[in-house]
Amino acid sequence: DAKTTQPPSMDCAEGRAANLPCNHSTISGNEYVYWYRQIHSQGPQYIIHGLKNNETNEMASLIITEDRKSSTLILPHATLRDTAVYYCIVRVAGAQKLVFGQGTRLTINP
């Protein structure tokens, strides 16, 4: 699985959009970009994933650059409950395991 690079920490004001970047410059054509988050020591929560196209669901939007070497997770209206560690993972579909890096510790401030 390709290596990802994320900033160790970020802050965002409540109600604003939180934009979390991820670099994956060595991503292969068949590798998807997945995002998970872990709120305080709870189990990781799946957020969204994509291959080439931008994706949106009820939780977030995923913007993938045209060359696929980086992506951004967008939480459109961050709340205090979005404070968590966010993990960007690249993975071949059908691959057996998720390889977690250090992630980005996002703090939402009131």
Partner 1 sequence: NAGVMQNPRHLVRRRGQEARLRCSPMKGHSHVYWYRQLPEEGLKFMVYLQKENIIDESGMPKERFSAEFPKEGPSILRIQQVVRGDSAAYFCASSPPGWRTDTQYFGPGTRLTVL
Residue ranges binding partner 1 (CB under 8 A): 34, 36, 38, 41-46, 49, 93-94, 96-103
Is residue 81 helix, strand or coil?
Answer: helix
CB of 96 to partner 1, least distance (A): 4
CB of 92 to partner 1, least distance (A): 9
CB of 8 to partner 1, least distance (A): 12
How far apart (Å, rounded) are the C-alpha atoms in residues 107 and 65?
A: 25
Query: At a CB cut-off of 8 Å and minimum separation 6, what does 57 contact?
Result: 47, 48
Amino acid identity of residue 14, one-letter, is E
Considering the complex, state which of residue 13 and residue 98 has its C-beta at the smaller distance from partner 1.
Answer: 98
Considering the complex, state which of residue 14 and residue 100 has its C-beta at the smaller distance from partner 1.
Answer: 100
Is residue 23 helix, strand or coil?
Answer: strand
How far apart (Å, rounded) are the C-alpha atoms in residues 37 and 42?
A: 9
Considering the complex, state which of residue 7 and residue 100 has its C-beta at the smaller distance from partner 1.
Answer: 100
